[in-house]
């Protein structure tokens, strides 16, 4: 039977090439890190300053937009402003209409309460 060709980067061995592969991998990482051209201290401070300044500017921009939109939308959801005066009128109408039904409502529970014990008392002796 014919064998499939080996894939590049993988060794063919009894153990699957794992132990030498790990060492070779970390050695390759170390070799690549030695090739990196690291920034000087001046370049590092300049790039860090650019990042910090960008973060500050975007936070001011987003915070300002949040404050502005919140200021514009707050009257819609809180009910303050022109809608507040119309909201005040509605409870005043409800308060005026409330005393009439409450007076008749308080009379009927007391009448039904007095009728209930007499009805239960008259039901007991006849039973």
Residue 22's pLDDT band (boundaries 50, 70, 90)?
A: confident
Residue 31's pLDDT band (boundaries 50, 70, 90)?
A: very high
Count CB atoms within 10 A of the CB of residue 24: 13
Over residues 63-93, the pLDDT tens digits come to 999 999 999 998 888 875 554 445 555 555 5
Asked whether the beta carbons of 38 and 48 are under 8 A apart, the reply is no
Instruction: Report pLDDT for 2.
Output: 63
Instruction: Report pLDDT for 117.
Output: 54
Look at the pTM and tell me if it is higher than 0.75.
Answer: no
């Amino acid at each position: 039977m014919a064998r499939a060709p080996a894939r590049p980067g993988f060794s063919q061995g009894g153990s699957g090439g794992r132990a030498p592969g790990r060492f070779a991998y970390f050695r390759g990482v170390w070799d690549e890190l030695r090739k990196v051209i690291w920034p000087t201290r001046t370049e590092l401070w300049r790039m860090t300053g650019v990042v910090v300044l960008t973060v500050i500017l975007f936070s001011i921009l987003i915070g300002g937009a949040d404050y502005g939109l919140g200021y514009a939308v707050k009257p819609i959801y809180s009910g303050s402003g022109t809608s507040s005066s119309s909201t005040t009128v509605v409870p005043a109408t409800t308060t005026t209409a409330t005393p009439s039904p409450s007076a008749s409502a308080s009379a009927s529970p007391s009448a039904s309460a007095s009728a209930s014990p007499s009805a239960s008392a008259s039901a007991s002796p006849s039973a």
